[in-house]
């Protein structure tokens, strides 16, 4: 790093090399203030936008690594402002903190606190990045005595296409993921579409007019709205507003099955609201297609033995939930466990949380779990302690200095300084 002269008058500044310029840029206070301000704006706009589009969709728009830039909205109207996505802003912030907060910062006891605190926050950002790329969250809705080896992902749909075997049992489905569908948003003008081909299926699937949230309506001849899709088999899709309080999305789309043998194409409506596959036949074989939330297969099974919930007496406010489960791993080893609110089960790299509970229906008990796998699960605790240590050290040091200064200001002249003053006066005389 080249030395910079504080006073520039009359002196020629040495030209900096490119790496130095880049380092200066990434370690500057102005970059820190800018990234923090951008992050603040993103957080604020996303908080307001959630009330319209729900949490998952807004988080996807602002915070996903695929969001390179964001145009915020307020009450559904776009703001004439382009901001970088939060993920990439955090990347810049990370670089800024490393360059400025660790490398460039003055080293000494006075800066020890901030350095430690910066390190803690850098670690927290790293935790965030690891969480973002490696953690998986799923929901598991269980029914008493049922065995479950899968979870579904909130806010993520998938399109599954599969063949039925001779007994009309499902075979492993091909999965088209959410990311391949979400840009095909329905449009009253020219529909956006994409054609999906499959290794050993005798047809292609063309998807168009994807809805984040739609309801199936029966065509009764009632007046149609602008967002209404085509009528197929007497039904059509109509876009409906997302209920931001539930954060549940009824993804839907239009699909055309195009057989390779040139036989008649088949149009279908798929929707998350339909909890079973639709079927069609090509070349004398039966196939199924459906649009569930993305399914996450587990390497273990969970069986709900019973669930228990308590309400505060005389109210419908839950006071306690717990579930007894049997966890059976891939080797067949069983583990019995009780999961309670605030007391999850951490086992074999997964964490199972008691997320929701409903009272029994017809004597059958139910329980809702959230399953998470996240290598950075326990890292925030470490980050917390490091940041706290740095901050509190610096704060106490500054406070002590301030108190000392104030006390010195308000203290009357002590005897030593009086003696010094007298000696000085004598010497002058």
Among positions 8-27, residues that touch other proteins (CB under 8 A) are 24-25
What would the x/- binding string for other proteins be over residues 119 to 148, using CB under 8 A? -----x--xx--x-----x-----xxxxxx
Q: Pairing between strand 147-163 and 235-239?
A: unpaired
E strand spans, 277-403: 278-282, 285-290, 293-311, 318-329, 334-340, 345-347, 350-356, 366-373
Nearest-CA neighbor of 237 among 224, 247, 246?
A: 224
Instruction: Burial-class residue 202 by CB neighbours within 10 Å (0-12, 13-18, 19+).
Output: middle
Scanning residues 181 to 200, which ones bind other proteins (CB under 8 A)?
183, 193-199
Phi, psi for residue 403 in degrees, rounded to 5: -60, -45
Radius of gyration of the chain (CA): 31
Q: How far is the CB of 347 from other proteins (least distance, A)?
A: 14
Q: How far is the CB of 112 from other proteins (least distance, A)?
A: 15
Nearer to other proteins, 103 or 423 (CB): 103
Scanning residues 387 to 406, which ones bind other proteins (CB under 8 A)?
387-388, 391-392, 394-395, 398-399, 402-403, 406
Does the footprint of other proteins cover residue 80 (CB under 8 A)?
Answer: no
DSSP three-state, residue 12: coil
Joined tokens for residue 158: 């998938």
Q: How far is the CB of 269 from other proteins (least distance, A)?
A: 7
Scanning residues 279 to 318, which ones bind other proteins (CB under 8 A)?
279-281, 284-286, 288, 292, 295, 297-298, 301, 311-315, 317-318
d(CA 403, CA 410): 11
User: Which phi-psi region, left, alpha or beta, contains residue 288 (left: φ > 0; alpha: ψ -120 to 50)?
Assistant: beta
Scanning residues 83 to 102, which ones bind other proteins (CB under 8 A)?
84-85, 88, 92
Stretch that binds other proteins, among 223-231, 325-333, 377-385, 419-427 (CB under 8 A): 377-385
CA 417 from centre of chain = 63
Farthest-apart Cα atoms in the chain, separation: 121
Does the footprint of other proteins cover residue 106 (CB under 8 A)?
Answer: yes
Identify the bridge partners of residue 211 per DSSP, sorted by sequence position. 252
Between the alpha carbon of residue 159 and those of residues 119, 150, 154, the distances in Å are 43, 17, 15
Nearer to other proteins, 241 or 419 (CB): 241
Nearer to other proteins, 177 or 424 (CB): 177
Nearer to other proteins, 319 or 417 (CB): 319
Nearer to other proteins, 227 or 322 (CB): 322
Does the footprint of other proteins cover residue 110 (CB under 8 A)?
Answer: no
d(CA 225, CA 402): 68
> For the CA atoms of 364, 365, 366, 367, what is the dihedral angle to 10 degrees?
-170
Scanning residues 151 to 170, which ones bind other proteins (CB under 8 A)?
152, 160-161, 167-168, 170
Between the alpha carbon of residue 265 and those of residues 67, 232, 262, 269, the distances in Å are 36, 13, 8, 14
Q: How far is the CB of 310 from other proteins (least distance, A)?
A: 8
Does the footprint of other proteins cover residue 347 (CB under 8 A)?
Answer: no
Nearer to other proteins, 239 or 290 (CB): 290
Q: How far is the CB of 421 from other proteins (least distance, A)?
A: 23
What would the x/- binding string for other proteins be over residues 21 to 60, using CB under 8 A? ---xx--xxxxxxx-xx-xx--xx-xxx-xx--xx--xx-
Q: How far is the CB of 308 from other proteins (least distance, A)?
A: 12
Nearer to other proteins, 77 or 220 (CB): 220
Nearer to other proteins, 16 or 227 (CB): 16
DSSP three-state, residue 40: helix
Scanning residues 226 to 285, which ones bind other proteins (CB under 8 A)?
233, 235, 244-245, 247, 266, 269, 271, 273-281, 284-285
Nearer to other proteins, 91 or 227 (CB): 91
Three-state SS across 9-25? CCCCCCCCCHHHHHHHH
Identify the bridge partners of residue 285 per DSSP, sorted by sequence position. 282
Joined tokens for residue 277: 């596959």
Total of residues contacting other proteins (CB under 8 A): 142
Does the footprint of other proteins cover residue 410 (CB under 8 A)?
Answer: yes
């Amino acid at each position: 790093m080249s030395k910079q002269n504080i006073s520039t008058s009359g002196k020629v500044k040495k030209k900096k090399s490119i790496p130095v310029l880049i380092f200066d840029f990434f370690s500057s206070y102005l970059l820190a203030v800018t990234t923090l301000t951008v992050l603040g704006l993103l957080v604020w706009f996303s908080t307001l936008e959630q009330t319209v589009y729900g949490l998952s969709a807004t988080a996807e728009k602002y915070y996903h690594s695929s969001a390179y830039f964001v145009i915020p909205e307020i009450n559904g109207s776009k703001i004439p402002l382009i901001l970088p996505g939060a993920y990439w802003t955090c990347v810049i912030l990370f670089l800024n903190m490393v360059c400025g907060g660790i490398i460039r910062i003055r080293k000494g006891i006075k800066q020890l606190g901030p350095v430690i605190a910066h390190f803690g926050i850098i670690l927290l950002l790293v935790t965030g990045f690891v969480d973002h790329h490696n953690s998986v969250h799923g929901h598991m809705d269980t029914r008493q005595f049922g065995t479950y080896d899968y979870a579904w992902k909130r806010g993520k749909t998938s399109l599954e296409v599969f063949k039925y075997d001779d007994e009309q049992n499902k075979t492993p489905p091909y999965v088209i993921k959410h990311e391949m569908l979400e840009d095909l948003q329905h449009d009253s003008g020219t529909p956006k579409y994409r054609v999906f081909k499959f290794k050993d299926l005798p047809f292609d699937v063309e998807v168009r007019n994807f809805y984040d949230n739609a309801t199936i309506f029966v065509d009764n001849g009632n007046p149609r709205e602008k967002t209404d899709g085509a009528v197929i088999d007497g039904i059509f899709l109509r876009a409906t507003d997302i209920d931001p309080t539930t954060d549940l999305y009824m993804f839907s789309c239009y699909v055309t099955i195009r057989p390779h043998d040139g036989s008649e194409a088949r149009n279908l409506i798929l929707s998350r609201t339909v909890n079973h596959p639709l079927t069609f036949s090509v070349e004398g074989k039966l196939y199924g297609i459906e649009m569930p939330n993305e399914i996450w297969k587990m390497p273990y099974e969970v069986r709900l033995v019973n669930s228990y919930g308590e309400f505060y007496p005389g109210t419908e406010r839950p006071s306690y939930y717990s579930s007894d489960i049997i966890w059976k791993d891939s080797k067949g080893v069983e583990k019995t466990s009780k999961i309670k609110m605030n007391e999850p089960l951490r086992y074999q790299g997964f964490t199972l949380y008691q997320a929701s509970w409903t009272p029994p229906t017809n004597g059958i008990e139910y329980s809702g779990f959230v399953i998470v796998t996240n290598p950075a699960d326990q890292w925030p605790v470490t980050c917390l302690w490091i940041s706290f240590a740095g901050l509190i050290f610096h704060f106490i040091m500054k406070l002590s200095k301030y108190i000392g200064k104030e006390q010195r200001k308000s203290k009357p002249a002590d005897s030593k300084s009086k003696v010094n003053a007298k000696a000085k006066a004598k010497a002058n005389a």
